[in-house]
């Protein structure tokens, strides 16, 4: 499993055994910035019960999310350009055999899984993904600066080569 897939795993809904799955995947990563960010995420959730983690996940990413984990939404809003992006991503993800897990094609999970499967960003994402991640990080920091998912967004930034990735202040 490549770094992008490990980060995607962190964004998936937590269930029984999921913490162990993420921990094992992080342990397989090469030393470097992505591994450090993922270890920071694991430290941030280690004392949470499964139900507490589920609640944070739901509050952060699902019901009234603290940030929208959709690249197209962050880049284009609800416009035709987002629809075009989603259609192109869906086609590319299907061709690459990426299982979206029920998410829209511009959600971070299938975007990262596609990156992992193909070894490169989809051409439609090259210009918009780094800025979209910056916006997501800004929204999450404003809404809840101690949220564990900030570490995952930092890891996304590392995976996509986002310039100027901010440190989280905890040595990672």
Query: H/E/C letters for each residue in 99-150?
Result: CCCCCCCCEHHHHHHHHHHHCCCCCCCCCCHHHHHHHHHHHHHHHCCCCCHH
| Calpha distance 13→113 (Å, rounded) | 15
**pLDDT reported for residue 172:** 34
**Cα within 13 Å of Cα(85), Cβ side:** 26
Structure tokens at 12: 């998936």
Backbone angles phi, psi at 107, to 5 degrees: -70, 150
Measuring CA to CA, which residue among 96, 92, 152, 166 is closest to residue 126? 92
Please say whether the beta carbons of 36 and 172 come within 8 A: yes
Question: Residue holding tokens 């995947």?
Answer: 25
**pLDDT reported for residue 164:** 37
Q: Which residues have CB under 8 Å from 127's CB, separation 6+?
A: none
* 3 state DSSP class of 93: helix
* 3 state DSSP class of 107: strand
**pLDDT reported for residue 10:** 96
**pLDDT reported for residue 162:** 57
**Cα within 13 Å of Cα(45), Cβ side:** 27
pLDDT of the chain along its 172 residues, tens only? 899 999 999 999 999 999 999 999 999 999 999 999 999 999 999 999 999 999 999 999 986 788 889 999 999 998 999 999 999 999 999 999 999 888 999 999 999 999 999 988 889 998 899 999 999 999 999 999 999 999 999 999 999 875 433 333 333 3
Structure tokens at 172: 């990672």
């Amino acid at each position: 499993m490549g770094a992008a897939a490990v980060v995607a795993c962190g964004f998936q809904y937590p269930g029984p055994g999921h913490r162990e799955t993420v921990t094992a995947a992080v342990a397989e990563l090469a030393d470097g910035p992505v591994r450090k960010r993922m270890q920071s995420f694991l430290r941030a959730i280690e004392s949470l019960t499964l139900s507490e983690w589920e609640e944070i996940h739901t509050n952060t990413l699902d019901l009234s999310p603290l940030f929208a984990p959709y690249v197209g939404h962050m880049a284009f809003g609800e416009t035709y350009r987002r629809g075009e992006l989603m259609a192109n991503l869906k086609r590319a993800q299907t061709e690459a055999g990426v299982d979206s897990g029920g998410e829209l094609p511009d959600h971070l999970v299938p975007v990262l899984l596609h990156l992992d499967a193909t070894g490169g960003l989809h051409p439609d994402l090259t210009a918009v993904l780094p800025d979209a991640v910056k916006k997501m990080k800004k929204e999450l920091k404003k809404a809840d600066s101690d949220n564990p998912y900030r570490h995952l967004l930092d890891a996304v930034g590392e995976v996509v080569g986002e310039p100027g990735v901010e440190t989280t202040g905890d040595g990672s």
